[in-house]
Every structure is written in structure tokens, then in C-alpha cells.
Structure 1
Amino acid sequence: MSEQEAFFQSDRVDQQPVRHALLWRLAGYLKPQWASLLALLGLMALGAFLEVMPSELTLRLINRFMGQGNLRGAAPLVAGFFGVLIAGMVVSLARYFLLARVGQQAMLQLRIQLFEHLMGRNTDFFHRNPVGRLMTRVTSDVQNLNEMFASGFVAIVGDALSLLAIVAWMFWTHPGMALVALGILPFLLVATEVFRRRAGEAFRETQRRYAAINAFLQEQISGMSLVQINGEESRSDRQFRGLNEDYFQAFLRTILAYAVFFPVVEFITSATLAALIFYAGFKLQAGAITWGLLLAFIQQSGRFFRPIRELAERYNVMQTALASSERIFRLLDNRDEIPEAPDARPAAFEHEIRFENVTFAYSEGGRQVVRDLSGVIPKGRRIAVVGHTGAGKSTLINLLMRFYDVRDGRITVDGVDVRDLQIRGLRSLFGLVLQDVFVFSGTLRENILLDRPRDEARLASVLEQSQLKGLVERLPQGLETPVGERGQKLSAGERQLLAFARMLYLEPAILLLDEATANIDSETESQIQTVIERVSHRLTTFTIAHRLSTIRDADEIWVMDQGSLVERGTHDGLVAQDGVYAKLVRLQFADGEAA
């Protein structure tokens, strides 16, 4: 199975949605708009009444004035006819405006709910769900629902009221002709049910294929430099062509359903109109009906078929929206989150952080990346963790900040299990600096403050401590300089210094460094080492290190191998043991790195 097909299958819903359950849940987003909905219902009822008035006026106009051969005295009826048309136009304008407003208000709530829900998912959720897929949920899928609210869900009620008013008028004026006109309904119901069955899965598949395209595009554009460096343009092009072909074929199946359905509807409606005229011909010969009634019925039949055709057209909107809502609610029902205890305590760090027999695997039954690890991080001490790639070093940071929860054992802060602490308070204890720094679009100042209260004195001190002051002075706009998307206007070293400034402005109790000097030049590394030296003497520091030269002065070094803590001690002491750490040192000597 190809990677694209695997993605497609992961986005598939095994069972068809329970349509009434989806609609009922969607209706919940309209409840806050109940006043607007009542006004909308009133406009729809008025619009339904105005639907039948032109035919009634036509019938009276022809029956009263046709026999006398002139329109003397017809002015009131003619004025009433045009007045009804103008009133109908005004009602339609108000109705569509209110529909659009109600739909946008509902989608505003849904977008906010989706974004807040995403903010609460755990790290593993984002590892398993491509960004493009999530973007599709919040943008395209929500827009599909907006189309349904604006021109489908509520508008169907208006069409139903119009049909009800038209049918009532038909039976009131001539039951026999009304029955002929309504003879269309069984055939329409059969055609609509066949269409619904054929088109439903095609709509869902089209939306899934569209999400796959979005996910692929996001990944390829984000990694375009890597694609070009490795000459992978042709491979990416083939994959994209394949995804587009899959989407094209799914869309064709949808179009085919419509290509059959609409001509069938047109044939049924035309046949019904022919039957109505044929029936009325006999009645005219027998004198049972008047010309005015016949013309009014033909006129009203056109109005009768219009809502039916619109209902069929809105089925497209409804199916697309149901497919989108199916995936949106699947996302909203996701419970991949780090739970917070109802009685969670505020976090405080005064003494120590302790790992107690911690064991962890990223998946149930998967490889244990941390095994029965125990260790203490006393306040004010500098602890460094080293080991081969895959030894489980970075996992310790993920567990400390509760991006994941331990499987066995526990982690405590001043004797309190981190699972019993408030998540926001726990994470505020840490200042995290990663190897790959994420920078938001905006200015340098905004990326340092991250919406925290502005304190110019504190900011000036942070710039001095983080070695970022020189960069700010060189920039023409200083702290107000835009950094570009993902900080593309900054070098890797400048982004790293920005990360330290951001961390220092937070004023954390514990500094977490995860390979913070791995991908930068020697000059910037020297600057960062100066920063670390300045802050590590007053902060508790927990460092994941690859370059052993950067952690020689650590108070204690933990050496990890295959998830286990195999050695601990100072640099000199571990070298003297001639164990795993000493081997790592010798390997780096061989690579030319100074001890």
C-alpha cells in the first residue's frame, strides 16, 4: 500500500454516518441564534404565502376580465400583482441576508471550538495527523458546513413551506388537478433515493481525497528545499499526479450521479406538466374549469417544481456538508489529550524533581524507550544527559513537561506526582530550548514576549543576557523587525539566540536544553555557551547534549543506553570509570572534537 493510500485509508470512516444524528448535532450550533431563526421562520412563512398570490391574482384577473375583452377596472389587481412580486423580492433579500448571517455565526462558533479542541490535543495526536488534514478540517470542511447553513439546512425549511402553501392552494382551487400535479411525487421520491445512495459515498470519498491532496501539498511545500536538493521533483510530481487522478475519478463519480439525476427530474416534471394540460383539456371541453384556472395552475406548477429542483440541487450541498461534518465531529470526539485531575494542585519548585522507576513506550506494546529510570534533579544543580541516538534522552523532557505520561513509575516535583499538578502551572516551571527553534510570523518583539505582559526593563535585561542585543542594534527596525514566516529572515544561530531570549523573558525555574547547540556555527555556539553559563548558575538546568564539550562542567552527567540509565557522575569521574561515557568521549576525540 502506498503512503498516499495509507493516508486515505486512515481518513476513512468505517460506517456511513447516521444522517439524522449528524443533522441534530449540527442544529445545536443554531440554538444561540434562536431569535434570528424565529425571524427567519416568519420570513419563510410570509414568502410561502407570497408564492401563491401571483397565481391567485392571475386566476381572478383572467376570469373577471377575459370575457368582457378589456381590462377596465383591472388596475387594482394589476397593481396587487406587481406589489406581490416586489414584496416577494424584499422578503427574499431579507431572508438570504439573515440566512448568511446565521450561517456565519454558527461557523464562527465551530471554528473557535475546533481550534480550542486542537490546542488541547497531546503531542502524539499531532504526530499521527498531518497538518494538511487538520487544516482541511478547520477551513474547507467548515466552509462546506457554512454553505449548508446558508443555502441548505434552513433553506430547505423555506422550500418545504413554499411547497406546502402551493399544494394547499392547488387543492383549494381544484382537487382533481392538484392530484394530477402531485402524481410526480412517487417518481421523484424513488429517483431521489437512488441518487442519495449512489452519490453519498462518492461525496465522502471526494472529500477524503481532497484532504489527502492538502496534506501532501503542505508536506511538500514545507520540505521543498529538501526535495530540490535531492532532485526528487519528478517523484513528488508523480505522487501529486496520482493524488489528483484519484480525486478526479472520485469527483467524476459524483458528477455522473448528477448527470443522471437531473435529466430524470426534468423528464418527470415535464411529463407531469403535459399530463396536467391533457387533463385540463378535457375539463375545459366539459366546462368544468375556466381558462383562468388552467393558466393559474400552469403558472403555479412552475413554482411547484422550482422548490423541488432546488431541493435536489441543495442535496449536493447537504451531502458535501454531511461528509465534512462526519470528519469534523470525528475530530471533536477525539480524546487524545493529557488529562488534568479535577483536584489538580498548583505547581511549585522549591527542592527537587525526581524520576522514580520511570518506564515509557510511545505506543501500547511498543519498544520501551525509557526503562526503570530513577534520578534526582536538585534545585540549582546542572544535570546533563548523554547517550547514543535513540537512547531515550529527549523522551525525558517530553515526560517532564507532560507531553506524554509515564507508563510505569512516576515523576515528582517536590514530592508531588506531576499528574496531580495543574498542567499549565507545571509547564510554566520550565524554559525549553530545542535544537529546531520555531519562530512565528511577526516581529522580533512579538516572538520574545509571546503575548506576555510587556516590561521594557525586563526585556532590555533579557536582550543583554541572551546576546541578542547586538542583533537588535544592527536591525534597522530593531525589535519591530518582521522575522518572516517561521523566522526565515533570521539565521539558525539568530533563531537560537531568540529562543534563549524568549525563555529568559518567561523567567522559568528550570532550564531544559535539548541539543540547543547542535546545528549552529562555532561563533554562535560560543555566544550560547556564554548565555548558558550566565543562567545555569542561578537556574536548575537539565541538558540533553550531543557535544560532550558543552557539558564538562555539569554537576552530574547521566549516561543513557537503550533507555536505561547506565552511568552517572562528573565528567572526570566518568572518564576515569572507562565505561560507556569514556567510549563516547573517545569517539568524539576521533572526530576531532576537543574534550
Structure 2
Amino acid sequence: MSSESIDFFQSDQVTDKPQRHALLFRLASYLKPYGLQIMGLLGLMTLGAFLEVLPATFTVLIIESITRDGNTSSLMPMVLGFFGVILAGMLVTFLRYIVLAWVGRNAMLDLRSELFRHLMTRSTHFFHHNPVGRLMTRVTSDVQNLNEMFSSGFVAILGDFLSLLAIVIWMYSKHAGMATVALAIMPFLLVATEIFRRKAGHAFRETQGRYAAIQSFVQEQISGMSLVQVNAQESESRHKFRELNDSYLSAFLRTILAYSIFFPVVEFITSATLAALIWYASLKLQLGLVDFALLIAFIQLTGRFFRPIRELAERYNIMQTALASSERIFKLLDNQDVIPNGHLTETPRFQRAIRFENVDFAYEDYGNKGRTIIHGLTGDIPKGSRIAVVGHTGAGKSTLINLLMRFYDVNQGKITVDSEDIRHFDLKKLRAMFGLVLQDVFVFSGTLLENIVLDHPVDEAKLEEVLQQSQLSILVDRLPQGLQTQVGERGQKMSAGERQLLAFARMLYQNPDILLLDEATANIDSETEHQIQKVIATISRRMTTFTIAHRLSTIRDADEIWVLDQGVIIERGTHESLLAKDGHYAMLVRLQFSEDAA
């Protein structure tokens, strides 16, 4: 697999050192709408921390009652109190997780919705440079990682901190010497934790980035599986997939190495602490300065003290995974690759003409080393006219539609509607002027009806008229379920010609001012092409039409034909006048008709 291909799938990996505090503060902003629930959660965690140390108090009382006083009559109330505290702790934990899950889910729902709204406003350039699988990962897996951080990481760590604080306070309140011995090992533990954090942090981020690369690659391969199989590329695809997996594995093994060192170190420190505590307490026991009940309680709480520290590695995994996800999510949310909206709020009034005025355009690096696609193009599309554009592949024909729809903006010059620059109009209202029918028609999962109306209100009379005009009624009539027929993912249950007729019905239902056809009859059979040509002929009598043509026989009746070469209009005129010139257009006609004859 080439380095360029790997870079494409892994280009969203964050190489800069993350600002953890900034990320956490930004994530915390999504909790602001749930302040009341957060306050309740903090109250539950504080109560849980208090209940964490009460069993140790009951342990001291029970043992002292037995060993010192020899009195067992009062034992039952203390045992019941011991179990009551444990049950209360379980109830508090239950309520804490319920509230935590509710807050986390709602906060992440808000974030996921914000991400989706943000994606809906990105430019075509953005989607051409970001694999679909990567964007899917941001909206699904990465947000889920953040939810796990809220439910199992960040808040759990805060709860553990309160519990540890309660244990420390209890220890020092009972015996400062034993407490100091129990906690003396903490500096070593903090050093070990910091080393683990530094070593594991980069590996976690790299692992997440490479996992996203795998998802992007798999999504692309599955989408193009028919092409892979037709060209016998299964072996090559497996090889590329193995390379991405090996890259992920190497990063993952580095995180495992950090774990394999950290866990034994924590266990050693825990055992050393207990040994030191028992040794110190044995000396004090001989001197009568400490009783046995207090030693048992200290050993009990020391085990509880190190329990969350032993779990730190797993929670740190969740935190690091979430922070790596948040870096990528916020990188996406901070992306400003948009087509700026115009300041005019009124709907464009197309009364006279759309005009290209000395337009220059390049998809990348205009004015530097980038290839300029359109050079100084000037041309008019008068209202009610039929304009066609022809030229060889790569001449810039489809780019003109991209510029009209403002999927991209011109680099030089301007495009106007009745002398008003289209960059001044509201994007939605500008695009509502156009009805676009492409060579490759996208069909959503759902019914035929849903794909025609696209969530607009259903007008039965209008729908019937559209079905007749687009000749889709022939297909609908022979389907048992009619318009309620499920078309399958991307319209896989429909033929290419049927999808084209559906595209015309969809376009007509939107009732645009201008019809844009981008080689709409290039990949269909002659019978369906004849059907579509009848549809186009009917539509073009009442609607301005701008056609990108592959089959020159389909544009004989155009009012004007633009012959495009290297982004420049080299000829223009009617079919007959261009043939009479015997220039580039005439050559294209002869070549195509000779190919058809052959």
C-alpha cells in the first residue's frame, strides 16, 4: 500500500501534544444544561464517600465489644448497623449510576446532534478530502467513547477521589502514625502513575487514529466490492487491510506494554504498604499504643484505598481513549471548510439570464501549482433557453454545475443571476432554483414516494402530474406496492434507467427554475434513453435547461452549444452552425457517429 494511500486514511491523526485541561473544560460545557442533576450526583458521591468509611468504624466497635468488654449482648445492633451501611452504600451506588447514565447519554446526544448539524454545513471540498468511514467513526464510535468516559471514567474518578479523601481523614482522625505509614508509599505510586500516563498517552491516541483508518478503509472496500471482485483485487485489498491492521497492532501493543508494567508495580506497592503497616502496628501493639481492632480496620481501609488505584489503569484507558476521541471530534467541529452564506434573504428572481463572467477556477492551490480547470469563461444562460456543454473528459464540464450550485466558489470572476452575484444569495434559496439530475443517481433507503418528495408535504395532484411527466408512472403501475415499494439501499432494487426516471420525478416535484443535466443518459440503454429524451423535451419547453452532454445526438435541438476544451469555450453556436464550421465540435460528432456505426 502506498504511503499516499495510508496518509489519506490516517490523515486525521492528531500529532500535537493534547491540551488535556482544555479538552476536559470543553467537554464539561456539554454538562451545563444538566447542572441540577450534576449537583445531585455530587451529593450522592459525597454520601457514598462517607458510607465508604463507616464499615471500618463498625469493625472497630464490633471487635472491641468482643475482645475488650467480652460483651456480646450489644453485638446484634452493631452487626445490623454494619449491614445497613453496606445496603445504603449499594443504594447510593445504584442511584449514582442511574443519574450518571441519564446525564451522560443526554450530553452525548447533544454532542452527536451538534456533530451531525455541523457535517450538514460542510462544503463539497471537505467531503472530497474526508473518507466516509472516518466521519462515521466521529459521529458514532468517538461519541460513544466520550459517553463511557462520563459514565465510567471522569465521574468515577471523581467519586474515587472523594472516597480516598474520606479514608485519609478517617485514618488521621484515628491514628496519625499508622495513617502516615499507610500513605508514605504514595510518592512512589504517583511517580509510577505519571510514567505510565506519559508512556501510554501517545500510544492511546495513535491506536484510536489507526482504528479509525481501518474503519474508513473497510467502508470504502465494501462500498466498492463489485469493482474489487470484477477486477480480481481481493488479494490486493487483503494485503492493504493487513498493513492497516499491522499498524494498529503495533500501536496497541505499546499500550499493552505500559499496562504489563504498571499493574505489577501497583500490586508491589500495595503489598509493601500492608507489610509496612503491619510491622509498624506490631511495634505499637507491644507497647500498648494501638489495639488490635484498629489494626484490622486500617488493613480493611488500606485495601479499599488501593482498590481504585489498581483500577486506575483501566479507567485511564477509558480516559485516554475518550480524550483521543474528543481531540478528533473537536478538530471536526472546529473545521471551517464551508461555503459562506450570502446576505440576501429573498429568493433569487430568475427573470433574464444567468451569466458566467470571466470565471477562473481550480479545485486545489489556485494561483500556485494547482491545475486551473476553468480559464476566463464567459457565457449566458438566458431564461427559457436550452444550453448544452460538450467536450472531452476533464475539459471542465461538470465543474460548471458545481460552480452554479455553489458546491465550490469561483476563484476569479463571478456568476450572476439577473446581474446579482450568486455569492450574495442565501445558499438554500439559491440551490432551490436548480433541479439537478446526475449520471450517478443517489437513492435513499425507503420507499419510492419518500425518494420523490424528500420529506416535503405530499400533494397528490402534483405527485400524479410529476409521475406522468417523468414517465415513472409506467414503473409505479407495474409494482404491486406502487409508490410504497421499498427501493433498497442506494436503490439497488432498481435498474440504472429506473433510477434516472426517479431522479427526474424528484427534480420535477421540487419545481425548480432551471434544470441541470450532468450526462444523465450516459449509462443507460437506448430504450430508456429514448424515454428520458421525451421527458427532457417536454420539460425543456417550459424550463431553462443546462445540459452536460456525452451523447451528442441528445443536444441537436439546443439553442446554444458550448464546446469546452481545457476549461475554455473554443466554439459556441447551434448544432447546425457548428457543423458548418467544421471545427472541434464537428470532429467530435464524426468520431462519435463513427464509433456508433462500428
TM-score band, normalised by shorter chain: over 0.9
Q: Look up the SS of the partner of 2:545 in the other structure.
A: strand
* Letter matched to residue 255 of structure 2: T
2:460 equivalent among 449, 456, 462: 456
Alignment of 1:526-545 (within 5 A): 526-545=530-549
- Distance in 2 of aligned mates of 1:377 and 1:294: 92
* Letter matched to residue 509 of structure 2: Y
Q: Partner of 1:509 in structure 2?
A: 513
Shift of 1:9: 4.8
* Letter matched to residue 300 of structure 1: L
Q: Partner of 1:17 in structure 2?
A: 18
Alignment of 1:182-581 (within 5 A): 182-342=183-343, 344-364=345-365, 365=368, 366-581=370-585
Shift of 1:89: 0.3
Q: Cα–Cα, structure 1 residues 434 and 8, in superposed 2: closer, same or farther, change >3 Å?
A: closer
* Letter matched to residue 64 of structure 1: S
TM-score by length of 1: 0.98
Q: Cα–Cα, structure 1 residues 360 and 4, in superposed 2: closer, same or farther, change >3 Å?
A: closer
* Letter matched to residue 265 of structure 2: V
Shift of 1:309: 2.2
Shift of 1:344: 5.0
Q: Partner of 2:51 in structure 1?
A: 50
* Letter matched to residue 429 of structure 1: M
Shift of 1:112: 0.6
Q: Partner of 2:135 in structure 1?
A: 134
* Letter matched to residue 580 of structure 2: A
Stretches of structure 2 lacking an aligned partner (at least 5 in a row): none
Alignment of 1:166-185 (within 5 A): 166-185=167-186
Asked if structure 2 preserves the Cα contact closer than 8 Å seen for 1:344 and 1:420, the reply is no
* Letter matched to residue 22 of structure 2: A
- Distance in 2 of aligned mates of 1:581 and 1:324: 54
Write out per-residue CA displacement over residues 208-247 of structure 1, whole angstroms, 9 at most, x where no aligned residue: 1111111110111111111111111111111111211211
Alignment of 1:69-108 (within 5 A): 69-108=70-109
Q: Look up the SS of the partner of 2:311 in the other structure.
A: helix
Asked if structure 2 preserves the Cα contact closer than 8 Å seen for 1:497 and 1:528, the reply is yes
Shift of 1:434: 0.1
- Distance in 2 of aligned mates of 1:53 and 1:515: 78
- Distance in 2 of aligned mates of 1:53 and 1:70: 21
Asked if structure 1 preserves the Cα contact closer than 8 Å seen for 2:448 and 2:484, the reply is yes
- Distance in 1 of aligned mates of 2:344 and 2:290: 79
- Distance in 1 of aligned mates of 2:345 and 2:463: 32
Asked if structure 1 preserves the Cα contact closer than 8 Å seen for 2:9 and 2:216, the reply is no
* Letter matched to residue 66 of structure 2: F
Shift of 1:363: 1.0
Q: Look up the SS of the partner of 1:178 in the other structure.
A: helix
Q: Look up the SS of the partner of 1:170 in the other structure.
A: helix
Asked if structure 2 preserves the Cα contact closer than 8 Å seen for 1:383 and 1:541, the reply is yes
Asked if structure 1 preserves the Cα contact closer than 8 Å seen for 2:517 and 2:546, the reply is yes
Give the aligned length: 594
Shift of 1:70: 4.6
Shift of 1:75: 2.1
Q: Partner of 2:34 in structure 1?
A: 33
- Distance in 1 of aligned mates of 2:15 and 2:249: 22
Asked if structure 2 preserves the Cα contact closer than 8 Å seen for 1:4 and 1:243, the reply is no
Asked if structure 1 preserves the Cα contact closer than 8 Å seen for 2:403 and 2:409, the reply is yes
- Distance in 1 of aligned mates of 2:289 and 2:511: 92
Q: Look up the SS of the partner of 2:500 in the other structure.
A: helix
Stretches of structure 1 lacking an aligned partner (at least 5 in a row): none
Shift of 1:130: 0.7
* Letter matched to residue 184 of structure 1: I
Shift of 1:462: 0.6
Write out per-residue CA displacement over residues 43-71 of structure 1, whole angstroms, 9 at most, x where no aligned residue: 00000000010001111221233223352
- Distance in 2 of aligned mates of 1:393 and 1:263: 66
Asked if structure 2 preserves the Cα contact closer than 8 Å seen for 1:8 and 1:208, the reply is no
Shift of 1:250: 1.4
- Distance in 2 of aligned mates of 1:185 and 1:245: 38
TM-score by length of 2: 0.98
CA RMSD of aligned residues (A): 1.2
Q: Cα–Cα, structure 1 residues 273 and 98, in superposed 2: closer, same or farther, change >3 Å?
A: same
The question of 1:6 aligning with 2:10 is answered: no
Shift of 1:418: 0.6
- Distance in 2 of aligned mates of 1:312 and 1:205: 18
Shift of 1:313: 2.3
- Distance in 1 of aligned mates of 2:313 and 2:273: 17
